Structures are given as C-alpha cells and as structure tokens.
Chains A and B, each alone.
Chain A
C-alpha cells in the first residue's frame, strides 16, 4: 500500500459546512504537504507542515500533524462550491541520500451549492 493514504475516499458536503480529510503514512517524514487538483489538471500546492510542527493555518485551511500516530488532517472551513476538487496528501521521506515525495490516491470532495 502507499506511503500516504487519505480517508475518506470521497466526501460530499453542503456549501458552508466544514470538510475534514485525513491522511495516514507509514515511515518517518521530513514534511507533509496537501495539494488540490481540479478535474484532471495539474496539482496546486495548498500547505506544507514540517515534522516538528503540530498545526498550521492558511486562510480557510487548517492542517494538523500527529507524528506519533503518523497522521495528518486537513480542515477546510466554510466550504464553497469552488472547493470541489480532489485533494492529495504527499509525504517527503528520506530514501537513502535523497528525499522522495510520495502522494496518496486522493480524496474527492464535492461541495453542493
């Protein structure tokens, strides 16, 4: 299975509600990142949290990281229809002398107007 696994696989909410997405990983990380992808296009970086950080905010986004549980969550508050997209967590892990960025399979978020 993949280093980063998101949960749930799909989420459908009403506009204005909060959306919470989770990511679990297996090995030690340097940092964990969240990306958004709209309908088969390129990914857009949302937020990065380092292994020594526990929480980070960016606008309506809040990311937490629990290294003891090897998990992270992404909270989108007051969701909008434009937040409809796939969301991926990516972990930066050390492999030998170099680090490597590994993506999960993604969460499909649908925000109903």
Chain B
C-alpha cells in the first residue's frame, strides 16, 4: 500500500495570504489527523476527521480549518497567514475510530515571510 502523501512538500507565502494543504491517507483509512510542529511548541493537534466529519479539534484559532472528502482525502486551510504559522504541518491517517497506530506523511514545510 502506498503511504500517506502530502502536497505540496514546501511552501513559501507572505503574511495575509491563505494556503491550502492536501493529505491523501493510506487506502482504506478513514481517519485523518493534522498536526502543527514548531521548535517552540512541539507537535500540536489541529483537528481530526473521520468519515467526512470533524471528530476532534485542538486549540487553534478559526483561521485554521479543514475538511475531508468522501474518498478520505483531507485538506487544511489557513487564512490570513501570520509569521507564527511557519511550521511543519503533518498529516496522519489511521484505519478506524480509535487512536492506535497513526501513519504519518512526510509533512508540508510552510514558511511565512
């Protein structure tokens, strides 16, 4: 099976712009979670989708949003980018509802100038 893929791998944006990141989970996996990783804050949970429904949400402002499509692919959107949004955004998929092993993608490195 192909692993979790994320596109794009690298992105440079300027403050105020918006960005959309994409994640394709492993075939058959219905849960997709998104995390933001920065040197200062570590890995922080953004949200999780299961069967197109947001099942869980972290403590991020409303500028961060996401969705999941019927084929389980997921996108996350960040509007009105701030310098502090520069981070590695990781997506992880798992087969079902419980948090057993999560399979991570390589991440999207977002730099906000």
Say yes or no for B25: interface residue by CB 8 A criterion. Answer: no
> Across the interface, do B56 and A103 meet the contact criterion of CB distance under 8 Å?
no
The main secondary structure of chain B at its interface with chain A is strand
Chain B nearest CB, measured from A6 CB (Å): 10
Say yes or no for B33: interface residue by CB 8 A criterion. Answer: yes
> Across the interface, do B106 and A42 meet the contact criterion of CB distance under 8 Å?
yes
Of B35, B42, B99, B104, the residue contacting A30 (CB under 8 A) is B99
Expressed in whole angstroms, the Cα–Cα distance for A44 and B92 within the complex equals 10
Q: Mark A72-101, 1 if CB is under 8 A from B, else 0.
A: 000000000000000010101001001111
Given known contacts A42-B105, A95-B56, A100 and B99 CB-to-CB distance under 8 angstroms: yes
Identify the A interface with B (CB < 8 A): 2, 30-31, 33, 35, 40-45, 48, 88, 90, 92, 95, 98-106
